[in-house]
Structures are given as C-alpha cells and as structure tokens.
Amino acid sequence: MPMTAGCVVPRGDVLELLDDIKDSIPGELDDAQDVLDQRDSMIGNARDHADKTITTAEAESTDMVAHARAEADRILADAKAQADRMVDEAGAHGKSLVDDATEEARRLSQSAAREFEAVTGRARAEAARTIDSANNTYDKSVADGIAEQQRLVSESEVVVASKSEADRIIDAAHAEADRLRGDCDVYVDEKLADFEEVLTGTLRSVNRGRHQLRTGAGMHDYVEYPRSVDDDVRREDPERSVLAG
C-alpha cells in the first residue's frame, strides 16, 4: 500500500469508537434536550393561552365599549330630555312674569289715569268755582261802582269825589279779580305738580318692574303716591281713597 495522508480504519473499529464516545457523553445533555423540548412545548402553550386571552380581552373590550356607548347615549338622551323640560319650564315662568308685569303696568296705568282725572277734575272744578266767584265779585264791584258813580254824579256838589270813588272801586274790583285769578292759577299749578309726582312715581315703579323682570327677580313694586296727594284724596273722598288703596 502506498504511503498517503489518509488512513483506512476498519468499520468495526469505527463503530466501536462511536459507541464508546456515545457512552462517554454525560446524561445531562439528554436532560438538556428534554428541557429544550419542554421549553418549546411551554412556549407553544403560552402562545396559545396568550392568543386566547387576547381574543377574550378583545371580545370583552368590544362588549364594554358597546355597553359604554349605549349608557352614554342613554345619559345623553336623559340630559337632553331634562334640558328640554327645564327650557319649557323657564319659558312658562318667563311668560308668567311677562304677563304679570303687563297686568301690573296696565293696573298702574289705569290707576294713574284715574288719579289724573280726579286731580284735573278737582282742579277744573276749583278753578271754575274760583273764576265764578271772581266774576261775581267783579260784577258786583262794578255794579256797585257804577251805582255809586251814578248816585254821586246825581249830586252836583260831589261829582269829582264820586268819580274818584267810582274809579277806586272799579280799580279795587279789577285788583280783586286779578288776585282771585292768580290764586286759581297757583291752585291749579299745585295740583298739576302733585299729579306730576304721581306720574313720576308710577314711571319709576314701572321701570323697576321692567328691570326686575329682565334680571329674573319676579318681584313687583307698587306706586308710592306723594303724601300730599293721598291726604287730599282722603279728605275730599274717604270712600274713594279706601277703594284706591
């Protein structure tokens, strides 16, 4: 046989050597292989369990989202219904306040109109009475003056004196008539000033009522008539002042 780098080993010897090597391998390697196999099995089981858990969680999440959405829709519907009910109640309350304010304004206007008629009626009556009295006084004074003048004129010795006296009486009559007319004007002006205070108080009350209506207070003021007007009403017509109160 020629000399080469290789060698020829008998088959039997090789098999024996392999058996010897296999026998010399420690048992821990087999155990390690078993551990690896068990690890793969555990990983597979864990993966399957994780997949099942994820699937279950996704299903539960979908159910929870659907339930939450349904609950949110229900709460939203309840809130909308309650809001609509509150809006309706607020509208009804506002309409009631407007109706009350309108009725109060109408009542105050009627009361002011009645008071105006009463004050102006009394003023007209008093003015007419004063003017009639002044006219009567004036006519009487003029008649007395004319009569006195005629009487004095008939007496020649006192013509100058009679004319002077007649002029004095006539001037006095004119002065008295002017004074009475002035008193009448003062009285009418005072009554109109009292009525102006009534109208001013009424306007303030109406403005306060409108302001309270806009701010939602819902309270109504009443007209505070000046004390002088109330006293005049009570003195002149006690029954009417009680009804007006």
Compute the chain's Rg from CA coordinates: 61
Is 55's pLDDT higher than 50?
Answer: yes
Q: Which two tokens stand for residue 101?
A: 């304010």
pLDDT band of 221, cuts 50, 70, 90: very low
Cβ pair 229, 198 in contact under 8 A? yes
Average pLDDT, the chain: 77
pLDDT, tens digit, 9 for 90 and up, residues 141-180: 888 888 877 776 666 566 666 677 888 888 888 888 888 8
- CB-side neighbour CA atoms (13 Å) of 181: 9
Rounded to 5 degrees, what angle do the CA atoms 94, 95, 99 make? 120
Angstrom CA distances, 45 to 32, 35, 36, 51, stand at 20, 15, 14, 10
